[in-house]
A and B are shown apart, each in its own frame.
Chain A
Amino acid sequence: MELFMPEAGLVFWMFVVFVVLFAILAKFAWPVITKMVDDRAALIDKGVEYAEAAKSSLEDSEAQARAILAEANRQQMEILQEAAQMKSQIIEEAKKAAAAEAKKLVDAAAISIEQSRKEAELQFRQEVSQFALTIAENIIRKELAGDKAQAEMVEQLLNELEHKN
């Protein structure tokens, strides 16, 4: 049967042609095609990975932003509270300082009043004693001869008066 007998000539040509075809394709076609197909698969894989990473990082940063916002709110509240506290403290302190100042002023006034009172008293006493002396002089001039003994007597009388007070 011719059909089942491989013809030597055809085997020869088939071998030559197939080897040439293989050489041409293996040199010029398959490296380009398989490399590109592999590269594209790698690129797609990387793209998917990248998209997933981007998605998760987006979620992360959203959470982060929310946390930052909450923190800011909290800080704001704290600051406000602090400010309120400080305000009342300052008022308190101012009040205290004012009170102290007032007290100081009052004290100073009291001292100066006391001083002027004493001065006035002293002056008054001198004046009174002067008046008294003058009066007594005038009286005693007529009655007493010496001044000295009478002035001593008046002084003594005045001291008694003061001690009574």
Chain B
Amino acid sequence: MKKHSILIISITLIVLAAAASIALFDHSHHDENAKFDAKETIFDHLVDHYSWEVPFSHSHKIALPIIVQDYKGGWHCFMSSKVEHGETYNGFYIDQSEAHHGKVVGTNENGEVYRPLDISITKNVAALFITVIVICLCLFPLVRWYKNNGKKAPRGFTGAIEMLTCMVYDDVIKSILGPEKGRRFAPYLLTAFYFIFISNLMGLMVIFPAGANLTGNLAITMVLAICTFLAVNIFGTKEYWKEVFWPDVPMFLKAPLPIMPFIEIFGVFTKPIALMVRLFANMMGGHMIVLVLLSLIFIFKEMGGVAVAGGTTVLSIGFSLFMYIIDTLVSYIQAYVFTMLSTIFISLAQVEHHHHE
């Protein structure tokens, strides 16, 4: 039974990896004469788009709404299919030049190209919505179970979700913050954990309802880090602010030249920045390695032909499979680390007068 499931998982992963490479191949060869540009292909897969590919095809895309505000303040809303192939719609088109590569731009009366205020439902925004739905689908069965069955332990998937929640809630939040404050901060920390964990996993699945590189996007991790920053500093105690501006160190370190306060204030901002960069770099790096490994196939094909490409395919898919499995682990670890560090930063801002007693 166990062997069986491992076999099924391996086959699924091979199929997915193959699908990814086919998609890559398809993408790089929509123009037969174009040379394969590994760098462009890889970055194209990591950044946001205005539309979403239909599984296994780059020519068919799911149109998503583009919402932009022009320089006069008027709002424009249209489907991405209107500008997908280089067309101009209401003066807006997708820029192909270096300045705003791949973004919607407009031209004003003087013929100057400008970037409008852009709150389009892009691929990543759509993925955000889907992630929220998936999170709710994971958690609300558990809530319903509790309402119907009281304290009885749930089974199956609901039980797994409960176990995951308990692992974060009991072992991280309550053990670091204590039961009282743990209960107070648990909603934010658990929401952040599930958001990161589910988007990490969905980012690894290569086709439509998933596959957006959400947590590997700096905007997403920045908002998460800002939320932690707010949770730390809004609920920080008096003692915490005293330790920032007037720490318990020898006078010469803070009196004429505020060396320690400077370092402390610097630390207040570096903590969330570290959170932001860690999550972003880990997730983006994981995606990039898989993409590079798959790109190797096409690079070697151009250099040595089909036979070399065949050999590389086996190797690359083997390695990228391995990377996928590592990334699955990393998905959990990064969600856990983000939650744990957020909890620690919050607990550091909850200091009380204990060392004076």
Assign chain B's interface to a size class: 35 or more
| B169 partner, pick from A24, A34, A39, beta carbons under 8 A | A34
Q: Give the CA-CA distance A14 to B101 in the complex, in Å.
A: 22
Docked CA distance A31–B143 (Å) = 9
Contact A18 B227 (CB under 8 A): yes
Whether A36 touches B151, Cβ cut-off 8 Å, given contacts A18-B195, A21-B195, A25-B139, is yes
Q: How far is the CA of A20 from the CA of B222 in the complex (A)?
A: 17
A5 to B218, CA, bound (A): 7
Q: Would you call B274 an interface residue if the criterion is a C-beta within 8 Å of the partner chain's C-beta atoms?
A: no
Q: B214-235 interface mask toward A, CB cutoff 8 Å, 1 = contact, 0 = none?
A: 0001111011100100000000
Q: How far is the CA of A103 from the CA of B2 in the complex (A)?
A: 109
B43 within 8 A of partner (CB): yes
CB distance from B116 to the nearest CB of A (A): 10
Contacts of A20 in B (CB 8 A): 132
Q: Is the CB of A18 within 8 A of B139?
A: no
Contact (Cβ within 8 A) B119 A3: no
Flag B178-191 by CB within 8 Å of A: 1 or 0 each: 01000100111011
Quick check: is B170 within 8 A (CB to CB) of the other chain?
yes
Contact partners of B187 in chain A: CB under 8 A: 22, 25-26, 30-31, 34
Q: What chain B residues lie within 8 Å of A79 (beta carbons)?
A: none
For residue A160, CB closer than 8 A to chain B, the reply is no
A3-B43, A7-B219 given; A17·B128 CB < 8 A: yes
Chain A nearest CB, measured from B91 CB (Å): 18
Contacts of A10-39 to chain B: CB distance below 8 A: 10-15, 17-18, 20-22, 24-26, 28-34, 36-39
Residue contact A15 to B125, C-beta cutoff 8 Å: no
B312 at the interface (CB under 8 A from A): no
- Chain B residues lying within 8 Å of A38, measured Cβ to Cβ, are 179, 183
A146 within 8 A of partner (CB): no
Q: Which residues of A contact B46 (CB under 8 A)?
A: 3
A32 lies within 8 A of B147 (CB): yes
**Please, which residues of chain A bring their CB within 8 A of the CB of B166?**
37
Known: A10-B125, A10-B217. A24 touches B136 (CB 8 A): yes
Tell me how many residue pairs across A and B have CB atoms closer than 8 Å: 116
Contacts A18-B223, A34-B169, A37-B166; is A10 near B124 (CB within 8 Å)? yes
Residues A10 and B220 in contact in the complex (CB < 8 Å), given A32-B147, A34-B183, A37-B169: yes
Q: Is A149 located at the chain interface by the 8 A CB criterion? A: no
- Residue of A8, A10, A17, A43 contacting most chain B CB atoms (<10 Å): A10
From B132, B146, B223, contact of A32 by CB (8 A): B146
In angstroms, how far is the closest chain A Cβ from the Cβ of B228? Answer: 12
Q: How far is the CA of A13 from the CA of B222 in the complex (A)?
A: 12
When C-beta atoms are compared, the residue in chain A nearest to B123 turns out to be A10
Q: Are A17 and B129 in contact (CB under 8 A)?
A: yes
A residues bordering B, Cβ < 8 Å?
2-15, 17-18, 20-22, 24-26, 28-34, 36-41, 43
Interface contacts beyond A3-B284, A33-B162: sample of 4 additional A-B pairs, CB < 8 Å, sorted by A: A3-B43, A17-B125, A25-B139, A31-B187
Q: List 20 A-B contacts (CB under 8 A).
A: A3-B43, A7-B48, A7-B219, A8-B119, A10-B122, A10-B219, A10-B220, A11-B219, A12-B119, A13-B121, A13-B128, A14-B125, A14-B223, A18-B224, A20-B132, A25-B194, A32-B146, A33-B143, A33-B165, A37-B165
